A and B are shown apart, each in its own frame.
Chain A
Amino acid sequence: MDAQALRDTLSTIAVRDVPDTTDLWPGISRRLTGAAHPGRPRIGVPRRWAARGAFVALGFVALFVAQSLLPGQLTTAQATDLARNDPQVQAILRGDIAIVTVTSVVGDVATVVVKDSHGTTVTVAVDLRHRIVTSVYSGPQLSAALTQVALDVVHADPRTSALLARGATIGRISPIEVTYQATDPTTGQPSQGTQTWAQVPLQLDGGAWSVYLDLPQARVDQLIDPNGNQVPPP
């Protein structure tokens, strides 16, 4: 069968020329967290053109020189240095710095977590383009599991999922300790306790929305629009 011959040929060639050991992650990771930031147009020649001779190489050198004359974007390594040396960060940390790591790069903003030897953690947002620290946060942090619950709820609720579909971005998710009162159904006695809820900021078209999540019940408790008004459930 001709179709079978095509399938066999394409499969054979693909496996032979792109082996199972192919690993793109180091390159992707470098491009996301290294000098070549993903939000920035890449300066350089694609590898397939590399052999096309001195003319292309000359152009590349010219571009490189031009690039070096312009104020550049921070690398993530420079961002970690900026974060750990920030006066606000140093005022919060009590001991030697134990960990500095870039946890994400979204657009031009790198999120850097700095932790000291006493376990104090500070989350720092660094604007790579403008080379400044834009926020320092040292409050309580939600666990990874509860962060996942929060994300699931935000993506499931029709109001917030509609905002995400319009391009809203999710900011830092913060925990909220909520005190509740209940009546024991057996004894009729009032009881009190605390629950961890979450507050999720959403940014859309320059406006800030706030989502308050009841995590134990996995639901949006309140959605507040940029004007401070509560958006009712549909």
Chain B
Amino acid sequence: MDTATDERAAIARMRSGDIAGLSALVETYQLKATRTAYLIVRDQALAEDITQSAFIRAYERIAQFDAAASFGPWFLRSVANDAIKAVERARRSVPFDDDVDERSSPADTLIDPAQGPSALFEAAEDAEALWALLGRLPARQRAVTVLRYFDGLSDAEIADYLDTPAATVRWRLFAARSKLRIWLGARAE
């Protein structure tokens, strides 16, 4: 599917109950959506499950979709929120400092604020090290990191996706990057 016209036609088919319309949208958005979900939940099977369920929900609720809008953001918003909920559900049984992380200042834990981020990231052995550290972030901080650096969304777009004030998004991004900087610094020592 190359054009907005094709997408509109696919949505019109879905509105008339034709699942072929959904098939076209799956082809267009499945990779981006599954990858976004995977980067948040870090489990491929769960990411696929979340994305499949989101597509089915979109099919069932297509009447609520504003035909003038683009399907992509509407759909990816649903996937991102489901992924966050999945992580939070999984962590509910395990003590985690998500709430504390939201309240405390990242500056409190900075070891060496003067050290440049580039140097610290260069200290990471490879992408695997950074990937492992991303897994230590609380769900919502990880989600805003993924939405910003993988999906390329702005603060305002992330805020809209997650139904959160833009200031909170900026705070979570700042907190996430500060922690990564610290953890990478610790690894380098």
Contact = CB atoms under 8 A, between A and B. Distances in A.
A13 interface: yes
B12 A22 contact: no
Interface string B150-189: 1000000000000000000000000001001100000000
A11 interface: yes
Given A13-B39, A104-B17, A5 B124 contact: yes
Interface in B1-31: 9, 12, 15-19, 22-23, 26-27, 30-31
Contacts of B146: 10
A103 B146 CA distance: 38
Which residue among A5, A46, A107 has the maximum number of chain B CB atoms within 10 Å of its CB? A5
A202 to B, nearest CB: 10
B52 A170 contact: no
B45 A38 contact: no
A143 interface: no
A65 to B, nearest CB: 24
B118 interface: yes
B98 interface: no
Given A1-B118, A10-B39, A47 B56 contact: no
A1 B46 CA distance: 31
B80 to A, nearest CB: 14
A14 B177 CA distance: 19
Given A28-B26, A103-B18, A148 B12 contact: yes
B63 A14 contact: no
Contacts of B31: 18, 20, 22
B84 interface: no
B36 to A, nearest CB: 8
Chain A binding surface, main DSSP class: helix
Interface residues of A, number: 51
B141 interface: no
Contacts of A46: 45-46, 49
A95 interface: no
Contacts of B35: 14-15, 18
Contacts of A28: 22, 26, 52, 55-56
Contact of A167 (B23, B56, B63, B145): B63
A12 B134 CA distance: 14
Given A2-B117, A148-B9, A48 B60 contact: no
Interface string A145-173: 00110011001000001001101111001
B67 interface: yes
Contact of A24 (B34, B43, B60, B180): B34
A105 to B, nearest CB: 7
Interface in B107-157: 117-118, 120-121, 124, 127, 130-131, 134, 145-146, 149-150
A173 B12 CA distance: 13
Given A5-B121, A9-B131, A14 B150 contact: yes
A6 interface: yes
A58 interface: no
A205 interface: no
A23 B45 CA distance: 12
Interface string A99-116: 000011111000100000
Interface of B: 9, 12, 15-19, 22-23, 26-27, 30-31, 34-35, 38-39, 43-49, 51-52, 55-56, 59-60, 63-64, 66-67, 117-118, 120-121, 124, 127, 130-131, 134, 145-146, 149-150, 177, 180-181
6 contacts: A3-B149, A10-B145, A14-B38, A17-B44, A29-B23, A152-B12
